[in-house]
Structure 1
């Protein structure tokens, strides 16, 4: 499988080499990073959640080494959509001493063929592939390999041409974030350019990204995962999935938010905790969910979404993004005013009216790569920089 021009050293893929994951599952091939623990996964049979939490957004190998060459064997699981052109292979980002030093992909792997019209999924097995980076700088350095944020990745073997040791934890604060597909990184260019990864780099914090595509639904097991994960600062981005799945009505929403925050606070009673409402999404500002795929341009590789709820149903408690922002602001600002470390950020400060005119959401729901950068830069400025609700004590 691997090349022979180096004297390779194989290093076991253990938890002390992997950052940004809550659990490593031992598989027939190696280890599979999970972003929810087994107890949480056992409490929900939803296929979308299972796929999202096993996609390693924010997960990276981190080690110190003098190596100039590294190989990583992985077994990816690719997704195909019936009737659509093939998706590009997932991107791996190589960082050396914090700077992008290479990118690559792994071909082969398993394939999931998803028919969005019928909801059926067909699985086809495939081979392990190899990612290779050579020509790295001489001398001891901090190396990170960020796994594709949108491609399930089993880690099979790590080889280098010099010994590897786990990267020291350092003194960076740990930022634990939960959100929807936008936080997961949908349509970002690479794993280090999702908006949370960009914000973490700009803010000098260590990211654990629990952005779960289609699955930021105030699930109690997700709140418990946040509660039980060590962190110095926490943010939860709530709203769009609750609307576009048409999951609950207004009567249930605020108590669910309170319960979610109560659970997080059980494990982090005093940590800075930021509640972020949805960014601007024109199709759902005043129209309830659900949102459904528009297949009319799928054969050309374009998928768009549309909202099919009836605005008149707001009177009966159906949720829209405006309703959710008002309710979140009320929960944080009035009903939980006794929590001095709880803060609120209107998501339209990250992406609002002027932004949607300049950088519209291509599929009506998800930002493109340029918009991820803008959101990440704004979050770093508004939340992580000096004076922000998640800023460090010395900033």
Structure 2
């Protein structure tokens, strides 16, 4: 595919590119916000237009995507896996309200690909498309980011009283030994709602810049994500997952921040949550690993973001060469940090006590690249929007363990909502 490199000046080319991408039927921006770790492969990348696509629902989704990927061995491929694909992996069923109506999975092969590298962009486009005109079209796009103000609060799918009752019921399951950790999530939503998705995404990214930020458009459906969490990635022969479990609010001063970080590192409850999920992910990765190759960080790292501090662990393995990319993803899906343990029992209980379908929330968005690598986030801290239905939604959740306190966990759910509410300049209903 022909490629050209252009120098960019100023900080407005990327938001212009997002606004320009809105005119395409499908688009995906994966934006690292200059966060980097040893496994970072892409600073930022924007894919637009559709050469080929697959919408998968109901049955055989992973195999359908495997076949689609095999059909395009030398192409970039972008898309998402919805959380409820769990029902195709395990004997589970979800009969909960779903105002968004996203498919279980969607992937596309883009027409145009834009790599952002410091002060340069590399634009890839097929023969017949003038690359210079693409660059000039983006440069000439006017920055018209509408201030995303919602004139009413988000409704709660689960009242505080209902959340506390669900919490206590799940705590009883833990005390009986049915599970030892579970991630209870709740939805906040608006009906008959109109937003400008590029503007909302860019304001969210400004309020809460994160390493796995995503703007994804598929027809009238949008994923506007400030996710801090990597679900699963492949680098050469290495598979890795970086679950987040353990959250604390930011301090008002540097000194207070340092004190909060130290308390988070030494908090028995937060550390226990992290250890349980690391064990779960390590077990999941073992199913795709060469024998004896799974390793995990002994001590989780504290990562600091605009709104919160979080405990992040890294688990790696050498992939068994007989295991395909889609098999490896299926064997760890969905992210253990969003389920609990044992995984299947925890997911079944979430379906019983939660009040809405998770859909894309707690699923994954990312890419497969021509060099054989892939990278997917966990869809958290994310607005989901169906423009034709005028339905806007986000979820938050938190882990329940034997030592968890209901009021504290509810407060953590609200803390995780702060960035979205701030970006939209609104609040939750009382």
TM-score (norm 2): 0.28
Which structure exhibits the higher relative contact order, with contacts defined as CA atoms closer than 8 Å and separated by 6 or more residues?
2
